[in-house]
Structure 1
Amino acid sequence: MRITDRIGLLEHTDGIVPMHERGYRVEDTAYGLTIVCREPAPRDELVTLARRYLYFLAQAQAADGSFRNHLGYDRHWKDVPATADSWGRALQGLGTAVARGPVAAIRGESLARFDSGAQLRSEWPHAMAFAALGATEVLSVIPGHAGARRLLAVAVGIIGEPAGNPVWPWPEPRLSYANASIAEAVIVAGRDLGDDRVVRNGLRMLDWLLSGETRCGHLSVVPAGGWGQGESRPGFDQRPVEVAALADACARAAAVTGDTSWLTGVGLCVAWFLGDNDARTPMLNERTGGGHDSLEPSGRSRNQGAQSTLAMISVLQQGRRVTAAQAARAEAAPSA
C-alpha cells in the first residue's frame, strides 16, 4: 500500500521512499494484481488496490491485446505495445483475477482483458510461461475456455523440451530470472492438456532446478546475471523474484502430484527471506513491511521496491497455506 499511489505501483524506492520520478511498470502492477487476488478474504483496502491495478492494466493494453510496460510519472508511456514479459505478466494477473478476484466486476473485466490478450503469442519463453500461468487460472473456473487451452499448448512448444543431458536438462543454455515459472508452466500445461509426459518434463525441470539452487541446506538462487553450466557458486546479486517463482512452482507441484515432499521447497523459500541464505541476512524487513531488492555478499540492498516486496508477500502467502494445510492434516489425523 505504501508504494501504490492513485495511478499504480511505483517501481523503485530509495530505501523505503517511493521514487516517483522512476514511474510505473505493467509487470509490477500485474504482479500486484496477482498477489492481491490470491489473498483470501481481502479487506476493503486490498480490494481498492485490485481495482486500481486492473485499471492500470486496462490503460496499458492496446486494441490488439498487447501491452505497454513503462509509464512515466508524467503519465506518458515510454514504450510501445508488445508481447514481451509485460504481456505475459498481465495475462497472469488477469487470469488470476478471473479465478480469484474479490468482486464480480473485477472478475468480469479481467476476463474480457484476458480474452483480448490471449489471442496473441510471444517468441519469449518467459512471457509464454507467465501467460500460461494465467491461462491455467482461467481454466480452473472456465474449464472449456478454448483460448486458454490453446495458449497452454503454444507455451509448451515455445518453452521446448528438457535437454537430454542429465547434467543440464534445462531447455535453455543459461538460467536467467524467475526460472521456476518455466517449469511450473510446463507442469500446469501438461495437467490441463491431459499430457502426462509434459507433466513429467516439468517436474524433472523443477527437481533439477531446486537441487541446483540448494546449497548447504539453504537456498542459493541464480543471481541477477544468470548462471550457466560450470560457473562457480554462490552468485550475487540474488533477487527475491527468483525465490518467489520457486515457491509457487513447488506448491504447484505438490498440488498436481499429491506429493507433499515438494512443500519442502516452499519451506526453503520462506527460510531464505527469514535469513537462511548465503549472507545469513533476512530479506524481509519486519519494521517496514518491505522486501529488500537483492541479496549481496555482505548483506542486503537498502532499497525495497515493488517487485521485491511483492515477491516477499507471495512467498509468505505460500508459506501460510502450507502451514494451514499441515495443521488441518494434523487435526484430521486419528489420535494414537
Structure 2
Amino acid sequence: MKIAYISTYHPRQCGIATFTHDIFSAISFNDKHEKINQHIFALTDEGEEYDYPEEVVFSIAQQTEGDYIEAAKYMNTRDYDICVLEHEYGIFGGKSGDFILSLIDHLHIPLLVNLHTVLESPSIDERSILIRIAQRASKLVVMSQFAIELLTRVYKIPEVKILLIPHGVPQFSVKHQDAKNELDLSDRKVIMTFGFIGRSKGIDVAIKALPALVAKFPDVLYLIVGKTHPTTLKRTGEEYRYYLENLVEEFNLQNNVRFINSFVDIADLSLYLSACDIYITPYVNEAQITSGTLSFAVGAGAAVLSTPYWHAKEMLAEGRGVLFNFNDDKNLADILLDLFSNPDKLNAIRHNAYLYGQELSWHKLGVRYINLFEKVAKRLLDRDTENSWAEIAGQVPEFDLTHLKRLTNHVGILQHARYATPNYHYGYCLDDNCRAMLLTLMAYEMKPSEELEGLISTYLNYVHYMQLDNGKFRNFMSFSNEFLDEEGTEDSFGRTIWSLGYLLKTAPFNGFYQMGKELFFDAVPHFRSMKSVRSTGYAIMGMTYYLEHQPNDRDILEELNAMAYYMVNEYKQNSSESWRWFEKIISYDNALLPLSILRAGEILKDSVLIEVGMQSFAFLDQLIFEKGYLSIIGNTKWYVEGAERSKFGQQPIEVSTVVLLYHQVYEMTQDEKYLAKMVSSFQWFLGKNELHLGLYDAETKGCCDGLESHGVNRNQGAESTICFWISYLDVRRILIALT
C-alpha cells in the first residue's frame, strides 16, 4: 500500500507536523511496514524553507494555489492507494484555507481526513469548506466524541462517515522518579505546562495561582516548556512571554517558575512529562476539540488539571484528572493545595491517567490506522468520469421550498433578499414570478401537493395581472403594488412564454390551463417582433413545451420555425471557424441559445437546427469546462473574442441553463460524459466552482446570489434560489432513474 499524507512536517515547528510524524513513525515500526510505502506532501509557510527528510516528496507553498493542483496530479500519476489529509484551517492558503479544495477536487484516489479542528460556530466559509471536504472524503477521523456530535449537528454530516480514533501518545519508558533524578528535580514538586506559548493558553492564570501554593510548599517548581508560536512571534513578538516573566517577578516566584524556551523533541518531552507531578492546561475558552499536549500528559500518567474545554471534559472524566473554572486562579490554587496536601489522592489520579494512557499509545493506534487505510483504499473512486451516481445523489439536499415561500406573499415572489430576509425595497418582477411558476410546475410533476397548487396559482395570477391589453406584459411592480414600467423587456416577455408553454404542457387543473392558454395566445402576435436572440430563445423554449402537448398546432409550428431560423441567421452572421456563436459577445444566460435551438431542432426534426445547436454547444462547452469544472463567464466584463474573459461575478442563472443544456445533449447523444458534466455543473452550487465554496444554504434552504472576487455574495434573492432548485429537480430526476 502506498500512502500520501498532506500536512505540515518536521522540521517545521507545528503540532500538526508532530502528529503526522507520529503516525508515520507508528506505521513505519509496525509489523506490516515492509508492505507500506509512505510519503509526505508538506505545507510550507510563506517565506520559509525547510530541510525536509527524505520521506517528503513534494512541498506545497501554502499561498500558491497551483501547487495544490500539482500535488494532486503527482499523486494521481504515481500509484498512490490513499491520500490522508491532516486538516487544520490555518495551515492551508486562501480564504479560510480553501486552497485545499483545489487539491481534493483534482484528486482521483480515495481520501481519508483527520480533523484537528471542528468549530461549533464556524463562519459561512469555514462551514462550507468542511462540508465539501466531508463530501469528498471516504472517512472522517476525529479525536473526541464531542467532535462527532458537532459534525452531525452543525455540519449535518452522517455519523456513519465519522470514526473516533483518540490522539496518540508516545511510549513513556522512564519511571517518574528516575525522570526527576535525570533532570535534577528529585527534591521538587513539579508542575508543568508545555506547547506553543500564546495568550489563549492561559499560562498567566497558572502563575497567579502559585503564590498561595508556594507559601505552603516552597519546593514547588512550575516548568513552562515551549516557545512562542511562530505565527504569534511574527505578529506580536514575545509580548506574552515578557508579560509572564513580569508576573513571575511581581509575585517573587523566580525560584518557582522556570521557562524552557525551545521546541523540545519527543525524547526530551517524554522526560519532562514523566518527571512532572501535576500537569496544567489552563486554556481560556472551551472551543478546543482536541489537544495533543493534554493527550501526552495523560499518557505519561501525570495528574492533569485543566479548564473545562471540550477535549478536557472527555479526557479527564472518570477520575483521570480535575477540572477548574476558566480564568479562575483561586480555584486552581485550591485544587493544587488539596492535591499536594493529599498524596494518596494525587497518586490515585496519576494511576487512573496512566491506565487510560496505555490505550492511547501510537503503537496501538498505528494498527488501527493501518486497518483503516486498507479499508478505505479498497474503495476506489473514478473522479474523471464522476460515475458514482449513488454517491453524488447522497450529496444532494432534500427538496425544500422554505426560502421560496419566505420570499412569496399573496401578490407573488419578491425579487431580492438581504441575506435570507425579503427585501421589500425592490418589489416584484415578472421574470422571477415566471421562473417561480416554472419551478413549482416541475416540482408538482414529481410530487403533487396542495401547497404547490397554491404557489402555482399565486405566480400565474401575477403573470395575468401584468399582461397588457395588447398581449404584452409589464415587468416591475413596487411592494406597494404600483406599476413601475409601461412595458417590460423582451427578456421578461420571452421568459413568460417559456413558463406559460410549460404550464400548457403540465397544468394541474383545467382552470390553470385555460388561463395559461389565454395569456399565451394573446402574446403570440408579438413573437416575431423580438430582436434579441436570447429573448427569442426563451420564447422558443415555451413553444417547444407547448408543442410537446399539442404537436399538430400548425400555427405555432410555423412560429417556431421562423424564430429558430432567425437565430440561425444571427449565428451565420456572427460565427467563424474560431467563434461559433450567435453574437460577437458572450454575455449572460449563454447556454439558453444552443439549448433552445436543439429543442427546436428536435420538435421540427430539422438537421440544420441541430447542427447549429451542436456547433454552438461544443464551442460553449469548451469555454466553460476548460478547467475541468464549471467556470462560467463572469459578468464583470462580457467575453469578446480575443479579449480576456471575466472570472467573476458568476451567477446561478447561468448554471441552471447549463444543467438543462447538458441534459438535452445527453438525451440526444446518450453519451455519459455529458451526463457527468450535467451533474458536475449542478455541483457548482455545492462548491465545485472557482472559489470552492458552496452557494446553497442548508439552514435557510436558499441559494446565494453569486461568486464575486471577494467571495460569495451572501444575499439569497429569488432568481438564485429558483435557479438552484430548477437545477436540483432536473438533476435529481436523472439521479433517481440511474440509482
TM-score by structure 2 length?
Answer: 0.43
- Pairs within 5 Å for 1:261-280: 261-280=673-692
Cα deviation per residue 1:213-237 (whole Å; 9 max; x = unaligned)? 1142111101124222233355101
**1:172 aligns to 2:583 (yes or no):** yes
Q: Secondary structure at the match of 1:22?
A: strand
CA deviation after TM superposition for structure 1 residue 75, in Å: 0.9
Residue 287 (str. 1) matches residue 695 (str. 2): no
- 1:97-108 matches, within 5 Å, as 97-108=503-514
Which residue matches 2:462? 56
CA change 1:171–1:22 in 2 (3 A) is: same
Counterpart of 1:194 (choices 595, 599, 605) is 605
Q: Deviations over 1:240-299 (max 9, x none)?
A: 000101111111222234444322221121110110100010011111111111112242
User: Could you tell me which residue of structure 1 aligns to residue 480 of structure 2?
Assistant: 74
Structure 1 stretches lacking a partner, 5+ long: 328-336
- The amino acid that maps onto 2:450 is D
Residues 1-336 of structure 1 correspond to what in structure 2 (within 5 A)?
Answer: 1-39=405-443, 40-82=446-488, 84-121=490-527, 122-159=530-567, 160-162=570-572, 163-225=574-636, 226-233=638-645, 235-327=647-739
Greater fraction of residues in strand: 2
CA contact (8 A) 1:250 1:263 kept: yes
Comparing 280-289 and 163-172, the one that deviates more: 163-172
**Alpha-carbon contact 1:234-1:278 (below 8 Å) kept:** no
Indicate the SS of the match to 2:556. helix
Letter in 1 for 2:630: L
- Structure 1 residues 252, 148: closer, same or farther in 2, change over 3 A? farther
Task: Map Cα deviations across residues 102-154 of structure 1 (whole Å, 9 max, x no partner).
Answer: 22221222122111112212111111110110000000010112343233223
CA contact (8 A) 2:474 2:485 kept: yes
Partners of 1:81 and 1:233 lie apart in 2 by 33
Deviation by residue 1:58-86 (Cα, 9 ceiling, x = unmatched): 01111221111111112111112256111
Structure 2 counterpart of 1:204, which letter? Q
Cα separation, 2, equivalents of 1:176 and 1:203: 19
Which residue does 2:186 correspond to in 1? none
- Structure 2's unaligned 5+ residue stretches are 1-404
Matched-pair identity in %: 25
Runs (4+) off by over 6 Å: none
3-state SS, counterpart of residue 526 of structure 2: coil
2:432–2:719 Cα contact (<8 Å) kept: yes
Shift of 1:157: 3.1
Q: CA RMSD in A?
A: 1.6
Q: Secondary structure at the match of 2:406?
A: coil
Relative contact order: is structure 1 or structure 2 higher (C-alpha 8 Å, sep ≥ 6)? 1
In 2, are the aligned partners of 1:123 and 1:158 still within 8 Å (CA)? no
C-alpha separation in 1, matches of 2:621 and 2:708: 20
Q: Distance in 2 between matches of 1:325 and 1:312?
A: 20
Alpha-carbon distance between aligned partners in 2 of 1:271 and 1:176, rounded to the nearest angstrom? 22
Report the counterpart of residue 187 of structure 2 in structure 1. Answer: none
CA distance in structure 1 between the partners assigned to 2:624 and 2:579 by the alignment: 13
Give the Cα separation in 1 of the matches to 2:548 and 2:565: 22
| Cα drift, residue 168 of structure 1 | 1.1
